């Protein structure tokens, strides 16, 4: 028996098209305006780690409303490649990025701690006392 390989000419057409124009076919794994997050739940708080490369502390906004958290930022990213002292490629991105999510517990917004280090925003979101779900008995 022979192994079959699926041939899809459309999948092969785009890299060839870019090669003809002299453009790179390298696709980055992150879009310039994308915020990637990790959320970890602890006993008394949530820890959020949000990657926001290209954003400065003064360009980031965090809002907490009950159990709803939103993060937005103005992002600026520049990349320049030189060859023999001349600029061959310059990619510049200026825009905004945002991410919002809901948590299972309400957040004590007065005690939220936010730190930015090397393009990574770290949030500690303490759970509000008395918040969360409660089982209701039917009478």
Q: How much is the average pLDDT of 53-57? A: 85
- Does residue 105 register a pLDDT over 70? yes
* Cα dihedral sign, 74-46-67-100: positive
Residue ranges of domains in the chain, CATH in brackets: 34-126 (2.60.40.790)
Residue 27, pLDDT score: 42
Q: Under a CB-based contact definition with an 8 Å cutoff, are residues 91 and 79 in contact?
A: yes
Q: What is the pLDDT of residues 66-95, one digit of tens each?
A: 999 999 998 887 777 888 878 778 777 788
* Dihedral Cα 83, 84, 88, 92, nearest 10 deg: 80
Containing 11, the helix (H) or strand (E) segment is helix 9-21
What integer pLDDT is reported at residue 28 of this predicted model? 47
Average pLDDT, stretch 106-117? 93
Mean pLDDT of 50-69: 91
Residue 105 C-beta-side C-alpha neighbours within 13 Å: 19
**What pLDDT, on the 0 to 100 scale, is given for residue 133?**
58
Mean pLDDT throughout 104-117? Answer: 92
């Amino acid at each position: 028996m022979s192994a079959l390989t699926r041939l899809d000419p459309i999948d092969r057409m785009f890299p060839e098209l870019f090669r003809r124009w002299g453009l790179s076919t390298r696709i980055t794994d992150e879009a310039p305006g994308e915020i990637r997050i990790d959320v970890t739940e602890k006993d008394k708080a949530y820890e959020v780690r949000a990657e926001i490369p290209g954003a400065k502390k003064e360009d980031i906004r965090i809002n907490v409303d009950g159990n709803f958290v939103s993060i937005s930022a103005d992002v600026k990213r520049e990349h320049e490649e030189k060859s023999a002292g001349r600029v061959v490629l310059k990619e510049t991105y200026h825009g905004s990025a945002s991410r919002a999510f809901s948590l299972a517990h309400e957040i004590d917004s007065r005690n939220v701690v936010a730190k930015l280090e090397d393009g990574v925003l770290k949030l500690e979101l303490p759970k509000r006392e008395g918040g969360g779900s409660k089982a209701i008995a039917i009478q």
